[in-house]
Structure 1
Amino acid sequence: MGQAQAEERPTKVFIHVNTSKQVDDKDHLKVFANEHAKEWSKKPDQEGVVVECEVMASEMKPHVSQAYKDACDNLIYLKKEQFQVTNYTWLVLAALYILSRKFTAGTVGNDLLIGSAFVVGIVSLLVLWDFQSSIERFRNRLAHVYEDYFTKGECERLGLDAKSKHRYISAILSFAVVVATAFTAWAVRQS
């Protein structure tokens, strides 16, 4: 958006407070972007005062915008990578099973493959939960941006919830890794 097209937001608003109305009445407050509120308050059927207030909402500063974009991009990346880690774990475990067909049960090579299956499973679990802790860190960053730049009502209406942990995906993927590791170790021992 060019400077000629940029619209200036009002830095002040004028609020007419009708003192004859209850606080929860829809006519208790009227907000004006200009000094028209003073004319409004002079009408015979209006009681109250006009208060001039600064507008607190602001545009997102460039560094905050970059932090927001960085958090979103990293969340997308980390969530995809959790699935990739699980897929690669299954591939490595399948390769270990295929290698086990060359060894007979109870040999050193077979036992080495069983140990390797467990190492692959443990490393995969560690990576998955490291990604999950990074996801939570980026979600906390988003939560701060949402709190600073959106009202509570806007967050509810837009579904902006960065505080939920969503650990169930990591739990499901971890379960898949544990099952695949146990099955591979069992299958290698049987071969």
Structure 2
Amino acid sequence: MTIFVYVNTAKQVGDPEHIKVFANQHAADEWFKEHDPEGVAFGYELKAPDMKPHVGQAYKDACDNLIYLKKEQFQVTYYTWLVLAALYILSRAFPVAKEVLVWGTCAVGFISFFVLLNFQSSIERHRKRLASIYEDYFTERERKRLGLDATSTHRLVCGILSLAVLGATAFTAWVVYQPPAPGALE
């Protein structure tokens, strides 16, 4: 990042008006228009703290895990629906095993629900790690401008997927428990 420095040689060292530091060329130009039209600010490279390799690895790990966990939330929901569909088909092929299949349906639904909650917990842990890195390496203004917000929890997606899993489980358990329609293939 480049900052711009202006030195007013008419002021003594230590005087608040002796040195002006500007965050960018535009800020310097605006100040000069009003205060010193003949003045000039010189650009200097500001050294920001370099991200240490272990912090860079923690950042990459958090980002990779967030991407993976978010995809897996949808995969768990998808495969839960497939297993529930298979249990429904089995209930029609083997009506005598209805009780076992209802319990299997409930087990699949609750396991999927708890896996989704576990994924959400992991997502929040990785988001806290990202928030910490953003806080250490970006100013508040940069975080706002770049949209670097890792503090919100984003629980809505997990809630919707969890409801979809539990709703599909309840419906499948109810359908599996129903006797086959008269004349249905057995």
Name the TM-score class by shorter chain.
0.7 to 0.9
Give yes or no for contact 1:124–1:177 (8 Å, CA) kept in 2: yes
**2:85 counterpart residue number:** 94
Residues 5 and 20 in structure 2, CA contact (< 8 A), matched pair in contact too = no
In structure 2, what is the Cα distance between the partners aligned to 1:20 and 1:68? 41
For structure 2, the residue ranges without an aligned partner over 5 or more in a row are: 8-13, 24-35, 37-45, 181-186
Gaps of 5+ in 1: 1-8, 22-27, 33-44, 46-54
User: What's the counterpart of residue 16 of structure 2?
Assistant: 19
Alignment-derived partner of residue 4 in structure 1: none
Q: Which residue of the partner structure matches residue 114 of structure 1?
A: 102
- Structure-1 residue corresponding to 2:140: 152
Percent identity between matched residues is 60
User: 2:152 maps to which residue?
Assistant: 164
Query: 8 Å contact 1:18–1:29 — kept in the other structure?
Result: no
Residue by residue, what CA displacement relative to the aligned partner does 1:140-186 show, whole Å, maximum 9, x if unpaired? 00000000000000000000000000000000000000111011011
Secondary structure at the aligned position of 2:93 is classed as: coil
Q: What is the TM-score when the length of structure 1 is the normalising length?
A: 0.72
1:39-58 map, 5 Å: 57-58=48-49
Q: Deviations over 1:106-164 (max 9, x none)?
A: x4x10110010000000000100000000000000000000000000000000000000
How far off its partner does 1:57 sit?
2.4
Number of the residue aligned with 2:57: 66
Match of 1:39 in 2: none
Q: Distance in 1 between matches of 2:90 and 2:6?
A: 77
Q: Matched residues in 2 for 1:20 and 1:103: separation?
A: 89
Residues matched between the structures, number: 152
Q: Which amino acid aligns with 1:174?
A: S
Write the letter of the residue equivalent to 1:184.
Answer: T
* Larger relative helix fraction: 2
The DSSP-based 3-state class of the residue aligned with 1:29 is strand
Classify the secondary structure of the residue corresponding to 1:82: helix
C-alpha displacement of 1:68: 0.3
Provide Cα deviations, 1:81-116, integer angstroms capped at 9, x if missing partner.
000000010000000000000233xx4x10110010
Deviation at 1:56, TM superposition (A): 6.9
Q: Does the Cα contact within 8 Å between 1:100 and 1:113 map onto a contact in 2?
A: yes
* Letter matched to residue 56 of structure 2: S
Counting only pairs closer than 5 Å after superposition, residues 133-148 of structure 1 correspond to structure 2 as 133-148=121-136
Please state if 1:129 is matched with 2:117: yes
Question: 1:89 touches 1:121 (CA, 8 Å); kept in 2?
Answer: yes
SS at match of 2:21: strand
TM-score between both structures, scaled by the size of structure 2: 0.74
